[in-house]
Amino acid sequence: MSDPNLFAHDPFARFQDWMAEAEAREPTEPNAMTVATATPDGIPSARAVLLKGVDRRGFVFYTNMQSRKGGELTANPRIALLFHWKSLGRQVRIEGRAESVTDAEADAYFASRPRISRLGAWASQQSRPLPDRMTLERQLADLDKQYPGDEIPRPPYWSGYRVNPHHFEFWQSMDFRLHDRTVYTRTTSGRWTLGKLYP
């Protein structure tokens, strides 16, 4: 049983508790999250990615840094994450700033990926126009010959982001749409304040 008193002061503890329940009950990819970015002039975009690590430093995901989201985060590091666990009737919204993970972290995660996924990171010019599917498959086949073994270096443009949050919202579905919404906001001193929102 989780300690509710801990949740009053620690949004990370609440998140880990909810994630553990999602991992036990959500049928497909409980670590899937929507990542929302925006250009400096406020044009938004969103896409689903997979959470690959979380601790008190933040929430980590990996991507091609030359993708649309990578370009937007370079220009504007403000970011929002959304977890939606339909089977639990829960959502978690997170707002913060993105920063790059270290090269050592990116190298370690890249090395843990399946071989074809590592080759795919080289073959895919993510977010750029693709003439046809055959072009991608041909590039992948060429890379398969170039790197016949398991030693595949990490592309210089492929790495990860850590989202350092300043705001959490935990949303729990309730009867008659009288949902429970709990928010945590980080103060300038680094402490978290706890509050509620109308549903």
Catalytic residues: 177
Q: Which residue is listed with tokens 């969103």?
A: 46
User: How many Cβ atoms are within 10 Å of 133's Cβ, its own excluded?
Assistant: 8
| DSSP annotation of 55 | E
- C-beta of residue 54 within 8 angstroms of C-beta of residue 15: yes
* CA dihedral of 164, 165, 166, 167, whole degrees rounded to 10: 170
Cα of 95 vs its chain's centroid, Å? 12
Q: Whose CA is closest to 107, among 71, 152, 146, 142?
A: 152
Buried b (16+ CB within 10 A) or exposed e, 24-51: eebeeebbbbebbbbeeeeeeeeeebeb
